[in-house]
Chains A and B, each alone.
Chain A
Amino acid sequence: MAEKLSWTELRRALAVRAGVSEKTAGLFLNGYISQLINGLKDDKQVKINGLGTFKLQAVAPRKSVNVSTGEEIVIEGYNKIVFSPEAGLKELIESQKPSGVSLQPLVFNDQPDEGDFPIDPIKKLGEQADEIVGLLAEIDSIEEPKEPEVPEVPEEPEVVVEEPKVVAEEPEVVAEEPKVVAEEPEVVVEEPEIIVQGPEKPEKKKYHFFRDVLICVLILLLLLAGGYFFLRSQLSGILESMLKPEPAQTEQVEEQKEDDEGEEDPMIALIPEGDIPQEQILEEFNAISGEPDEEAYSDLITIEPMHEGSRLTWMSKRFYGDKRFWPYIYDANRDQIVNPSNIEVGTPIRVPRLTQAQMDTTNSAAMEALEKLRIEAEEACKK
């Protein structure tokens, strides 16, 4: 768009085409423009047939900030000129091809997949765990229909031989677990690979390879899952021991109470993490990465038995990401908690699912309710 039809050129062209003098054309053009401006001033809108419409559009005043001083200033409202070409002219111009570009809209069908894949390695551990669990379930379900297929394959005895093999290998898997933990980075890298392999499996039609691959993948997955859970429990152990000093500072009331009582402090012993059943961890996991829309107070994330050395605040931190919400857990378990700072080991603690509003620290109503619960809980401590 380098070329431009200048005022004089336009006037000359107009004069020649219309068969009038250049002076007349100039007069006409001046009149044309002043009429347009006056029309805009008076009516806020001028329509020129065969060309388009000029409009005055009001821009509302808005607040802004002076960049150098940080002062708030008000940008006053003003009018701006908007031109919208007539439909026919617009189409005509739009139909002109910009050089070398096809007009066909291109649809990228594969792109969403490509877009999703790079995200995989960044996925949260919880999501990965979910995926692995899903894959395991998938494989289990694939394995079952495998047996009816066996008669079709001529090597029946082989299958029988191989299946015990899998079973025989499983103890090995368990034995190997510590190894996996030692190779932390490897585990993390390998997980996305499995995710890629997963969708491929159903496509394989050769039952020979299919079975072998399936067994291999199954073993690998078991190994990884085992290693993963071990890792996870290890991590949560570190987390809890890190958190240990914090509650001591923030909940002096509880602390004092415990000090008064002396020996009955349940904080002292952190139980070895291996004692936590794996199923339970899995359950917690699903809960943490669960759906965001929480509804009622009666809706539970999980029921977890109180174990030695645990506290309500830690559970709050683990399930809600903030230890301040522990009074909610207390409130949900009033029937079985007499003293919130001294809960009997093994008591099944119901962990309620909280609503967004309840967990909103900026919501003063929710915070007041929480404070009220906290005071009640502290009073229960003193009884």
Chain B
Amino acid sequence: MIAEDAGLSKKDAEHLLSTMNAIIRENLMAEKAIQLQGLGVFEIKERQARVVVHPRTGERTEVPSKNQLVFRPVSNIKDELKKV
């Protein structure tokens, strides 16, 4: 389908797709955000460490901080998809 849109061969499109995934992954691993115009931004956010309490035992455990992949759509896409 992308191939049709962009006037590319299916093989090329698949190649490009996998390459793109690789690029996205690499940049994310380097904690770099990726901007996709007209769609949104992939970025890594740090979730802060927090203390959770086991409801039954009352034991307190600290959940360590971790990174999370977050996708932030741009506002016009958000609006466009609000009503479908």
Contacts and interface: CB of A to CB of B under 8 A. Distances in A.
A1 B8 contact: no
22 contacts: A14-B20, A17-B23, A18-B19, A27-B8, A28-B13, A31-B1, A31-B3, A31-B5, A35-B1, A50-B18, A51-B24, A52-B69, A78-B83, A80-B81, A89-B28, A90-B68, A93-B28, A93-B67, A98-B65, A101-B49, A105-B61, A107-B59
A95 to B, nearest CB: 8
A5 B27 contact: yes
B67 A79 contact: no
Contacts of A20: 12, 16
B62 A105 contact: yes
Interface residues of A, number: 59
Given A29-B36, A51-B24, A107 B2 contact: no
B67 to A, nearest CB: 5
A89 B69 contact: yes
A374 to B, nearest CB: 43
* 8 closest A-B pairs by CB: A83-B71, A31-B5, A27-B6, A31-B6, A78-B82, A31-B2, A50-B21, A4-B33
Interface string B63-84: 1111111110100011011111
Given A27-B7, A81-B71, A94-B68, 4 more contacts: A7-B36, A24-B6, A28-B20, A52-B69
Contacts of A49: 21
Nearest to A102: B64
A137 interface: no
A22 to B, nearest CB: 12
Contact of A13 (B23, B36, B81): B23
A3 interface: yes
B20 to A, nearest CB: 6
Contacts of B58: 112
Contacts of B25: 50, 89, 92
Given A92-B29, A98-B46, A25 B16 contact: yes
Given A4-B41, A13-B23, A28 B8 contact: yes
A32 B20 contact: yes
B81 A40 contact: yes
B60 interface: yes
A122 interface: no
A41 B82 CA distance: 10
Nearest to A81: B73
Given A27-B8, A28-B13, A3 B33 contact: yes
Contacts of A24: 6, 8, 12, 16
A48 interface: yes
A74 B58 CA distance: 40
A28 B20 CA distance: 10
B38 interface: yes
Interface string A25-63: 101111111111100110010001111101010000000
